[in-house]
Structure 1
Amino acid sequence: MKVLMFGWEYPPHVFGGLATANYGISEGLKAQGDIETVLCLPHPFGDESQHACRIVAMNAVPIAWRDVDYDYVKQRVGNIMDPDYYFKLREHIYADFNYMNVNDLGAMEFAGGYPGNLHEEINNYSIIAGQVARTEEFDIIHAHDWLTFPAGIHAKQVSGKPLCIHVHATDFDRSRGKVNPTVYSIEKNGMDWADCIMCVSELTRQTVINQYHQDPRKCFTVHNAVYPLPQEYQDIPRPDHTGKEKVVTFLGRITMQKGPEYFVEAATMVLHRTRNVRFCMAGSGDMMDAMIHLAAERGIADRFHFPGFMRGKQVYECLKNSDVYVMPSVSEPFGISPLEAMQCGTPSIISKQSGCAEILDNCIKVDYWDIHALADAIYSICHNESLFNYLKDEGKKEVDQITWEKVGAWIRTLYLRTLGWE
């Protein structure tokens, strides 16, 4: 089975959770043994792993004819795409796109990540998707999140192949219900065109059914998973904080959706009971300055740290150095970070309003708004060694069983059903 997949980010260039999920799903599908995936990315850097998929650099796809020779193409894009593939794509130019902002190869540039002109990039990406869909042979289309839904629709229109979309989050999650009408319309259009809608949690599935008015029969819950820790991360030592200051960590985007203010308020309550705890809010976002000011107003700035955005090894060093991980999200479609924390042996507290709460048992779950319950849970883990050890050991055992290979097997089943091959 051949899958034409549209993604927006991919490790090692991680801008958000979408990269981690896309990588996990690609590897999970590869593990099935009978699936080939072609993954389209707007701006690959050339150092992405192609173990599980063949990557198409959308910023090197010609949509306007340019009379260039092989050596020039190799010099320009050889690090991200096979020059032979460039010429194969050039044979399928389907319209005159010279009026668009194309470069010397007849291709369109992408910033990578989430630039200010994101909607323009989404539109350009969908135009290029038509070129790739005319060139590739495939059985089914898989589009990740609203950024790639227009591309998935275009590929379906061109090829007549069925479209699966993967909903990692909706604008209802990102905006606490104050949806952006443009984003909502792109999301709804993608869902209307889709033959199969994969949702990262039952929470998200219900949002898709009720807020986007989709047929429940084509909506399926596909929970995320976590990859085994690479050896270099396993080797990071876990400090022993017995009898020392405890460390409580929030790690993620510091935005309204993630509930950072509840973390600060709970921290204030804990620090009224003990001063032997430090709080770490790792990440960046539009609420960071407000949280720094809030910590100062509450008089806890001397026990609060803001190390900024972290990636790669830094994340795991931070998690292993923590005694408690907290994810107080207001609306979290899934949330992979608690699984990563539990892998590191760090007890986790998550909001009941998160998708991962559906599959995790060996953690503490509280309502995001219940700062009293959150503070009690933090205090208990920090001061009750048996509770700490139980959650550390049992949590790790639990997440070690939540694998992307199992996710890949379920997605393969959904592909077969959608194709009518089962």
Structure 2
Amino acid sequence: MKVLMFGWEFPPHISGGLGTACYGLLKGMAQYNHEIIFVVPKLWGDEDLLADFVSASDVQIDYREKKFKEIWEQLTYLEVSSFLVPYLGPEEFAKYSDASIHDRTDVAESIFANKFSFSGKYGIDLIMEVSRYALVAGQIAKNKEHDIIHAHDWLSFPAGIAAKKVSGKPLIVHVHATEFDRSGEHVNQKVYEIEKSGMEAADKIIAVSNLTKKIIVEKYGIPAEKVNVIHNAVLDVSITQNNARKNVPEKIVTFLGRITFQKGPEYFIEAANKVLQRDNNVRFVMAGSGDLLNRMIDRVAELRIATKFHFTGFLKGNDVDQMFAISDVYVMPSVSEPFGISPLEAVRHNTPVIISKQSGVSEVLNNALKIDFWDIDAMADSIFALLHYKGINQMFRHLGTEELKRLKWEHVAEKIFNLYHQTINN
């Protein structure tokens, strides 16, 4: 089987969980005898090439063909002054201008260059890049033989739709997060429309949790039978040996993720304040970046706990491993988390975790303390218990590590290949 897969980022150049999930999935798929063509906007040259990688920036487009003109006419082109970067990007842009459907006659010739150079990042021209990426996807689908198309998240949905239009092969869209997860009820209408069009065009949809499936069915009007829940996993399930050393005598409690509405950083800070009122021998770490960072720094100062609170900025690679290794407790208080791989990574480092009930990972990780994201008293009590009651701490360390052994990416890959076969046969 030959799979044409569209992503937006890949380690080590990532801004969040999507690239990590794609890496894990390709690692799992490598255990099977199938050919994966993985397309990203731009390759940096230091990726772990687990598949036949294609950089969209290197693809020549024969745009004057009728099919490519039709693809462009169906894409929404935005004159973007600023834009709320969704899902992964830490930057926040304010507003965007009105959209209009453009055909070949009213778009500048430069739009249709023979080759596009993608930044591969999340900038003010993100929607432009998404549209161009879709145009390139059509050319790739024409050039590369494949049996099925797999697109990850809304950034790649238009690419998947364009590829399907050119080749006629079935399309799987993989929903790692929705606009309702990122923005609550105040959704960006344009992103919502792109997500909905991708889900409607798909032959099958993969949701990373039952929580996500519920949103897809209720908010996007997609039939439940079209949505297949396949949970994420963790890379190396063995206990990681790490030489990282704490340079402080206190216990360390960590929040690691984008500092945005979705991740609930303000609840972590309020819970930290309650813990410090009971035990001053604790340090709290907020690792990440995002649009709420300055507000969180101000709140820590207002509570007068700055001497016990650290902001590290965005971490990746070995820095993430070291952070988990020196942490005594990891907390993920997400308001809405489609899945959440980071608690599994924490458990892999033998660190007990506290997760919100509003997360997809709570569906597969049983041996963790689970709280409502808004219940800061329960969060503070859970942190205090894991720090002070050795029996509870050791129990969650042991059971969590054992539980990871069944959460492998090769198991995820097997389920996805089975879905491919079912989709092709139907």
Q: Which whole-Å CA distance do the structure 2 matches of 1:320 and 1:121 have between them?
A: 38
Q: 1:384 maps to which residue?
A: 389
8 A contact 2:240–2:348 mirrored in 1: no
**Structure 1 residue 49, shift from structure 2 partner:** 1.8
8 A contact 2:41–2:120 mirrored in 1: yes
Letter in 1 for 2:287: A
Q: What TM-score do the two structures reach when normalised by structure 2?
A: 0.87
Match of 2:265 among 245, 257, 260: 260
Q: 2:37 maps to which residue?
A: 38
Q: 2:350 maps to which residue?
A: 345
Q: 2:229 maps to which residue?
A: 221
8 A contact 1:102–1:109 mirrored in 2: no
**Structure 1 residue 322, shift from structure 2 partner:** 0.4
Letter in 1 for 2:52: R
Match of 1:100 among 85, 93, 110: 110
Letter in 1 for 2:378: A
Q: 1:29 maps to which residue?
A: 29
Match of 2:283 among 266, 270, 278: 278
> For each residue in 1:326-360, what CA deviation from the matched residue of structure 2 results, as whole angstroms up to 9, or x when unmatched?
00000000000000000000000000000000000
**Structure 1 residue 12, shift from structure 2 partner:** 1.5
Match of 1:60 among 41, 55, 58: 58
Letter in 1 for 2:234: V
What SS class does the counterpart of residue 142 from structure 1 fall into?
A: strand
Letter in 2 for 1:100: S
2:343 corresponds to 1:333: no
Q: 1:297 maps to which residue?
A: 302
Q: Which whole-Å CA distance do the structure 2 matches of 1:323 and 1:270 have between them?
A: 14
Letter in 2 for 1:25: L
Q: Which whole-Å CA distance do the structure 2 matches of 1:344 and 1:30 have between them?
A: 24
Q: 1:74 maps to which residue?
A: none
- What RMSD in Å do the two structures reach over aligned CA positions? 2.0
**Structure 1 residue 26, shift from structure 2 partner:** 1.5
What SS class does the counterpart of residue 141 from structure 1 fall into?
A: strand
Q: Which whole-Å CA distance do the structure 2 matches of 1:382 and 1:196 have between them?
A: 44
> For each residue in 1:363-388, what CA deviation from the matched residue of structure 2 results, as whole angstroms up to 9, or x when unmatched?
10000000000000000001111111
**Structure 1 residue 235, shift from structure 2 partner:** 3.4
2:141 corresponds to 1:133: yes
Q: 1:369 maps to which residue?
A: 374
Q: Which whole-Å CA distance do the structure 2 matches of 1:400 and 1:142 have between them?
A: 27
8 A contact 2:11–2:23 mirrored in 1: yes
**Structure 1 residue 239, shift from structure 2 partner:** 5.2
What SS class does the counterpart of residue 255 from structure 2 fall into?
A: strand
**Structure 1 residue 151, shift from structure 2 partner:** 0.6
Distance 1:102-1:60 versus aligned 2 partners, 3 A rule: farther
Q: 1:178 maps to which residue?
A: 186
**Structure 1 residue 240, shift from structure 2 partner:** 8.4
Identity of aligned residues (%): 49
> For each residue in 1:122-146, what CA deviation from the matched residue of structure 2 results, as whole angstroms up to 9, or x when unmatched?
0000000010011011100000000
Distance 1:98-1:59 versus aligned 2 partners, 3 A rule: farther
Q: Which whole-Å CA distance do the structure 1 matches of 2:200 and 2:110 have between them?
A: 29
2:246 corresponds to 1:236: no
Q: Which whole-Å CA distance do the structure 1 matches of 2:45 and 2:279 have between them?
A: 50
**Structure 1 residue 98, shift from structure 2 partner:** 8.9
> For each residue in 1:154-175, what CA deviation from the matched residue of structure 2 results, as whole angstroms up to 9, or x when unmatched?
1111111100000000000000
> For each residue in 1:247-273, what CA deviation from the matched residue of structure 2 results, as whole angstroms up to 9, or x when unmatched?
000001000000000000000100111
8 A contact 2:327–2:351 mirrored in 1: yes
2:405 corresponds to 1:395: no
Matches of residues 135-174 of structure 1 in structure 2 within 5 Å?
135-174=143-182
Letter in 2 for 1:152: G
Moved over 2 A (4+): 95-98, 100-103, 237-241
